[in-house]
Amino acid sequence: MKSAETFLQDADSKTFDPEHRRKINFNIGRYNDAVAKGFSQFDNHELGRQRASYLKTQVIENLDKYLIEFETNFTRNGGKVIWAQDAAEALKEIHKILKEKKTRSVVKSKTMTTEEIHFNAYLEKNGIESIETDLGEYIVQLAGQRPYHIVTPAMHMSRHDISKLFEEKLGIPYTEDAQELTLTARRILREKYLDAEVGVSGANFLIADVGGIAITENEGNARLSTTFPKTHIAIVGIEKLIPSLTDLGLFWPMLAQSGTGQQVTVYNTVLIGPARQGESDGPEEMYVVLLDNGRTNLMVDPEKRQALNCIRCGACLNICPVYRNIGGHTYASTYSGPIGSVITPHLEGMEKFKHLSYASSLCGACTSVCPVKIDIHNLLLLNRNQSVKEGLSAKSERFGFKLWVRAMKNRKLLNFPGAGLKNFMVSFIFKNSWSKRREDLHVAPKSFQQLWKERR
């Protein structure tokens, strides 16, 4: 079944599932309340957005310069950089490191780039255990699901769902005590940190002037994943650069406020390489994998490259009326919601995912909350335009528009007496789209020309 057909079926299923909508609206509602209160920490939030947008745009426009600066400084700090053109190349190079270290298990903090390259599935196929250490990621891993949301992977699950899952998968007595559930996960994961040969993370930001990576989290699991194992591998998209360490003074609060409404996230860490002589913490070796994987497809398009400014805060998902109805899994892609609908067709193929750009009301709410001022709803229109130019529209859609153009250009057809045949054609064309959930469209019984003649 084609991705678009699957998408429509899943969207129908989720939209008319009252329990799913209850969970999502409850959880997103809590975030939106917190985010609204978080604005108060800024004297001029709009100025902060403008500054953040300017800095990210400068980086994307000069990405080659900043990437080389980062590599030079990170290598000077004792780290190693791997350039990966796509997912296959990234996995191949990472697997070489894992084989060299005789790796049996990997602990992994929350990172969307590993989801993007299907890291866990690859390791499982090669007999290596990969353990998610973020609580939300751990829950969806136990459930055999992909993350539901960029920031909160298990947003779609209630306390009851998680309790049932832990009872089934971990063999503990059923309990809805959140503290007990959290402590159970902690007890299991603490042993994994000590056993793992390699720790894997992403990075919220790559810092060019110091050659470091910045990681933001609320649980402390990323710090454990990057310091206990002897080898640390960070897999990061090439667009995550910021010019200077001092820029974190802006980006950390903007990310926290837009994502969760916090003034600043609980744990904010900058890592600039492996442990140095005399340091008690940190890995013996540290690698950063710089992942392209389709990002340069956006780079070459001057109108759309602003999508690479995204700092993955999740604000556009929380505000989007479509996402709040159909949910994150319906998108069947690593990045969901409005920003996912913009970038996924470029990362994974326009032909396969062009339908995501149509999953929007174009209300502009996503653009209004973006902390780096990405013009998301207009980028969705540009994606639609590109898909039509590339001839990716459905045959029925092309036929309908050809018929409409012919009628609009032909006065006799336009003024054809009676509405019966016109109504039949309109109903036939829109039977699987507009008319599926709405009354049929009806043409007026008399044309404007007829009404004008009668009036005169």
Domain contains 277? yes
Q: Are residues 211 and 323 in the same domain?
A: no
Q: According to the per-residue pLDDT averaged within each range, which of 22-31, 226-235, 407-416 is highest?
A: 226-235
Instruction: Convert the pLDDT of each residue in 41-91 to its tens digit.
Output: 888 999 999 999 999 999 999 999 999 999 999 999 999 999 999 999 999
For residue 1, the model assigns a pLDDT of 54
Looking at every residue in the chain, the average pLDDT score rounds to 93
Mean pLDDT of 250-272: 94
Q: Are residues 55 and 144 in the same domain?
A: yes
For residue 35, the model assigns a pLDDT of 85
Domain contains 245? yes
Q: Are residues 91 and 29 in the same domain?
A: no
Give Dmax (Cα) for the chain.
Answer: 97
- Cβ atoms within 10 A of the Cβ of 265, count? 18
Q: Are residues 284 and 166 in the same domain?
A: yes
Q: State whether the Cα torsion 96-101-106-109 is positive or negative.
A: negative
Q: Which two tokens stand for residue 384?
A: 């639609």
Instruction: Convert the pLDDT of each residue in 383-405 to its tens digit.
Output: 999 999 999 988 878 888 888 89
What is the percent of the chain with per-residue pLDDT over 90, rounded to a whole number?
A: 78
Domain contains 298? no
For residue 32, the model assigns a pLDDT of 83
Q: Are residues 60 and 16 in the same domain?
A: no
Q: State whether the Cα torsion 193-199-201-206 is positive or negative.
A: positive
Domain contains 30? yes
CATH label of the domain that carries residue 183: 3.40.50.10420
Mean pLDDT of 98-103: 97
Return the amino acid letter for 138: Y
For residue 433, the model assigns a pLDDT of 77
Mean pLDDT of 192-198: 95
Q: State whether the Cα torsion 406-408-412-415 is positive or negative.
A: positive
Mean pLDDT of 424-436: 81
pTM exceeds 0.85, yes or no? yes
CA distance 344 to 340: 5
For residue 40, the model assigns a pLDDT of 80
Q: Are residues 345 and 231 in the same domain?
A: no
CATH label of the domain that carries residue 25: 1.10.1060
Q: Greater confidence, 440 or 167?
A: 167
Q: Are residues 88 and 13 in the same domain?
A: no
Instruction: Convert the pLDDT of each residue in 345-376 to its tens digit.
Output: 999 999 999 999 999 999 999 999 999 999 99
For residue 394, the model assigns a pLDDT of 82
Q: Are residues 249 and 363 in the same domain?
A: no
Residue of 404, 392, 316 whose CA lies nearest to 360? 316
Secondary structure class of 452 (helix, strand, coil): helix
Q: Are residues 78 and 124 in the same domain?
A: yes
Burial of 171 (C-beta count, 10 Å sphere; 0-12/13-18/19+): exposed
Instruction: Convert the pLDDT of each residue in 320-337 to its tens digit.
Output: 999 999 999 999 999 999
Instruction: Convert the pLDDT of each residue in 205-214 to its tens digit.
Output: 999 999 999 9
Instruction: Convert the pLDDT of each residue in 154-183 to its tens digit.
Output: 999 999 999 999 999 999 999 999 999 999
Mean pLDDT of 240-260: 96
Place of tokens 């992994």: 108
Domain contains 301? no
Last residue of a domain, one of 358, 373, 393: 393
- Count structural domains, the chain: 3
Q: Are residues 345 and 402 in the same domain?
A: no
Domain contains 174? yes
Domain contains 447? yes
Domain contains 414? yes
Domain extent at residue 432: 395-455
Q: Are residues 177 and 319 in the same domain?
A: no
Last residue of a domain, one of 393, 418, 438: 393
Q: According to the per-residue pLDDT averaged within each range, which of 314-328, 408-422, 434-448 is highest?
A: 314-328
- Give every CB contact of residue 154 below 8 A, 6+ residues apart in sequence: 135, 136, 137, 139, 140, 147, 148, 162
Place of tokens 């809590």: 30
Kindly tell me if the per-residue pLDDT of 38 is higher than 90.
Answer: no
CA distance 31 to 150: 13
For residue 414, the model assigns a pLDDT of 78
Q: Greater confidence, 263 or 208?
A: 208
Q: Are residues 118 and 231 in the same domain?
A: yes
Q: Greater confidence, 45 or 456?
A: 45
